[in-house]
């Protein structure tokens, strides 16, 4: 975590030096919202219900596991969902770009590749979420759209908004970027349909989500799995995600002995030589970028989102009421 990010989650008077930049950020984002409210910029409604899953703070909040679990839930209810994502960090040759099970993270981003392996439904990356959603409806006959990380993409009209929040860090110091971690003010929490808290304690009106770890999966040989309890020696833990500390704490709760922690920037483009040829534990998001040069001693720990029955019931009621 950078010096600036640390200041977001602990008191520091020096952060006020960034006030002019935060005021500029506020002015730009507020102007953009008002352009949509006045009709100068137009939100476009597509021919299927749209559920947006996003956040108002930067960094790892648990949004990706939420999207995966949401798609699984929709399929169980008989829907044919499609997912549209920006594809952060990817450089696809054209957009919308459909993902397959073998899509290259360099083209579409690491999180979309990870999601595609679990959702079992069509998925595209498209910076213009409207075009992506329309493509899913027209080409794949999807009857409900899940928009990954599109809370601030107001051009796409939405029927349901789900805000995912880190239950431990929550909203940090409550300031807008770059003084704090917020993309939009705390007022935005009151306008969404659901606030889902990843870990920690859910406050009134919020819904709790927990991340449940599965079996360790070998990065080089994905058919090989083992229980965390089967590890015979201390390992190196590696994370290039928005909140690496969450991964390390998860390993600690499973009594994993670590001899070293390696932290990389979120979305780091791993290459051969970045990671030691040793017993290494990593996140699934990192693993999708390491498969081409993986060593047999590298393992990743998949996690799945567990949602409350109350949330699932209220969400389905909301969907059927559209």
How far apart are the C-alpha atoms of 320 and 322, rounded to whole Å?
6
283 among the known binding-site residues?
no
DSSP string, 291-317: GGG--TTEEEE-EEEEE-HHHHHHHHH
61 among the known binding-site residues?
yes
64 among the known binding-site residues?
yes
58 among the known binding-site residues?
yes
Long-range pairs, 38-44, Cβ under 8 A, ≥24: 41/154, 41/155, 42/155, 43/154, 43/155, 43/156, 43/157, 44/130, 44/155, 44/156, 44/157
Angle at 133 between CA 79 and CA 140, to 5 degrees: 55
Tokens 């829907």, residue?
Answer: 79
Tokens 């590696």, residue?
Answer: 238
57 among the known binding-site residues?
yes
Whether 35 and 148 have beta carbons less than 8 Å apart is answered as no
60 among the known binding-site residues?
yes
Paired tokens of 233? 């020696």
Q: Which residues pair with 303 in a beta bridge?
A: 213
3-state helix vs strand vs coil in the chain, percent to 5: 35, 25, 45
For residue 234, the 8-state DSSP code is -
How far apart are the C-alpha atoms of 8 and 52, rounded to whole Å?
26
How far apart are the C-alpha atoms of 19 and 177, rounded to whole Å?
9
Which positions make up the binding site for ATP? 57-64
């Amino acid at each position: 975590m950078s010096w600036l990010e640390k200041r977001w989650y602990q008191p520091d008077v020096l952060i006020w030096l960034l006030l002019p930049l935060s005021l500029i950020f506020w002015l730009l984002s507020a102007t953009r919202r008002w352009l949509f409210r006045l009709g100068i910029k137009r939100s476009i409604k597509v021919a299927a219900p749209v559920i947006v899953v996003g956040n108002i703070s930067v960094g790892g909040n648990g949004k990706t596991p939420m999207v995966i679990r949401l798609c699984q839930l929709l399929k169980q209810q008989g829907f044919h969902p499609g997912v549209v994502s920006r594809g952060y960090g990817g450089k696809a040759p054209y957009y919308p770009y459909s993902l397959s099970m073998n899509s290259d993270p360099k083209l579409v981003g690491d999180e979309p590749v990870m999601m595609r392996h679990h959702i079992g439904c069509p998925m595209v990356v498209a910076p213009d979420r409207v075009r992506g959603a329309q493509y899913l409806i027209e080409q794949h006959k999807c009857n409900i759209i899940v928009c990954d990380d599109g809370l601030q993409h107001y051009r796409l009209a939405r029927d349901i908004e789900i805000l995912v929040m880190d239950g431990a860090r929550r909203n940090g110091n409550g300031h807008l970027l770059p003084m704090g971690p917020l993309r939009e003010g705390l007022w935005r929490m009151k306008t969404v349909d659901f606030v889902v808290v990843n870990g920690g304690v859910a406050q009134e009106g919020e819904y709790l989500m927990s991340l449940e770890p599965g079996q360790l999966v070998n990065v080089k040989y994905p058919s090989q799995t083992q229980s965390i309890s089967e590890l015979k020696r201390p390992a190196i833990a590696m994370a290039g995600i928005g909140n690496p500390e969450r991964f390390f704490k998860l390993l600690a709760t499973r009594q994993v002995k670590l001899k070293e922690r390696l932290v990389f920037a979120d979305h780091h483009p791993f290459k051969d030589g970045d990671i030691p040829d040793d017993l290494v534990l990593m996140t699934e998001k990192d693993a999708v970028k390491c498969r081409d040069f993986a060593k047999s001693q590298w393992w990743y720990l998949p996690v799945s989102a567990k949602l409350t029955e109350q949330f699932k019931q209220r969400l389905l009621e909301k969907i059927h009421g559209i």
